[in-house]
């Protein structure tokens, strides 16, 4: 088993080190991660400049790009052998509901969709690293279990872990994505030279966070696993669109 590990918090992030440590004696692991924090990068590729991989003293490869760049290069020539799966994280902060659109953590796993094994994205519901050992243990268990998992091609698992020690985790729930309310307005700032700018606000609260959702599971103390697919076609819109189309041309 060969695993490509990446993240969006950056190559020096504690969650990346914890994930690598948890998987290092289970599989052959390669780590390629952004040199800077690229949280919020989504599935973006860098197309306006070359990417320069740099091998660090700990063996991790640092890249001046996005999480998607890291995995893309990892699957397309940067590594001597193609990995079987991508494991991303452990992100410090939730990736629930609408977050999967913006998340570089989830994007890294999605970029692994062409591989034989099911790729996984791991996020801990905290900005603090205190419960990373628990999250890393859960990640190890799920990656091991992935070996006996047979899902349709291009399925990715989005895993969110409550900010709790292991003996307080109540179990694992399969969930659907909930939805967030709109974020608050950006915060306006002015730099010392008088130039105005904006900080994007934190994500909105759960708006659709009832039973069955990822939000609900983690709030109840369960690890949430949401299977994701690439196909975002909205089948329910076909019927109304069909009627509407008849009058267009």
Interface with Mn ion, residue 99, by CB under 5 A: no
Q: Does 8 bind Mn ion (CB under 5 A)?
A: yes
- Contact code string over 50-89 relative to Mn ion, x by CB under 5 A: ----------------------------------------
Angle in degrees, CA 24, 29, 30, rounded to 5: 135
Question: Does residue 214 bind Mn ion (CB under 5 A)?
Answer: no
Q: Does 119 bind Mn ion (CB under 5 A)?
A: no
Report how many residues bind Mn ion under the rule CB under 5 A.
4
Q: Is 111 in the site for Mn ion (CB under 5 A)?
A: no
C-alpha 207/C-alpha 153 separation (Å) is 31
Taking the least distance from each CB to Mn ion, the nearer of 84 and 105 is 105
Contacts of 138 (CB under 8 A, 6+ apart): 122, 159, 161, 166, 169, 223
Looking at the Cβ atoms of 9 and 84, the one nearer to Mn ion is 9
Under rule CB under 5 A, residue 98 binds Mn ion: no
Q: Could you tell me the sign of the dihedral formed by the alpha carbons of 68, 83, 151, 163, in that order?
A: negative
Q: How far is the CB of 79 from Mn ion (least distance, A)?
A: 23
Start-to-end CA span in the chain (Å): 54
39 lines the binding site for Mn ion (CB under 5 A): yes
Candidate list 3, 4, 9, 60; residue touching Mn ion; CB under 5 A: 9
Q: Which stretch binds Mn ion (CB under 5 A): 33-41, 129-137, 156-164, 196-204?
A: 33-41
Selected range binding Mn ion among 39-47, 48-56, 79-87, 194-202, rule: CB under 5 A: 39-47
Listed in order, strand segments (DSSP E) in the chain are 2-6, 28-34, 53-55, 61-63, 85-92, 119-124, 156-161, 171-174, 179-180, 187-190, 196-199, 206-208, 222-228
C-alpha dihedral, 225 to 227 to 233 to 237, nearest 10°: -50
Residues making contact with Mn ion (CB under 5 A): 8-9, 39, 91
């Amino acid at each position: 088993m060969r695993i490509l590990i990446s993240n969006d918090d950056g190559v020096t992030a504690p969650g990346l080190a914890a994930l690598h440590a948890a998987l290092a004696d289970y599989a052959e692991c390669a780590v390629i991660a952004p040199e800077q924090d690229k949280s919020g990068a989504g599935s973006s590729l860098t197309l306006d400049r070359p990417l320069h991989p740099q091998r660090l003293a700990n063996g991790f490869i640092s890249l001046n790009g996005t999480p998607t760049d890291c995995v893309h290069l990892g699957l397309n020539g940067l590594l001597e052998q193609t990995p079987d799966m991508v494991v991303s994280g452990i992100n410090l902060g939730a990736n629930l509901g609408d977050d999967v659109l913006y998340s570089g953590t989830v994007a890294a796993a999605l970029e692994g969709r062409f591989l034989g094994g099911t790729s996984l994205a791991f996020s801990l519901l905290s900005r603090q690293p205190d419960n990373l050992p628990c999250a890393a243990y859960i990640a190890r268990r799920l990656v091991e279990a992935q070996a006996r998992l047979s899902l349709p091609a291009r399925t990715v698992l989005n895993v969110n872990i409550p900010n709790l020690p292991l003996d307080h985790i109540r179990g694992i729930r399969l969930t659907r994505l909930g939805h967030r309310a709109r974020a608050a307005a950006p915060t306006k700032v002015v730099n010392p030279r008088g130039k105005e700018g904006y900080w994007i606000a934190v994500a909105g609260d759960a708006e659709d966070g009832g039973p069955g959702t990822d939000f609900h599971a983690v709030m109840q103390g369960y690890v949430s696993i949401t299977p994701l697919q690439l196909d975002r076609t909205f089948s329910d819109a076909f019927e109304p669109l069909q009627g509407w189309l008849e009058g267009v041309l």
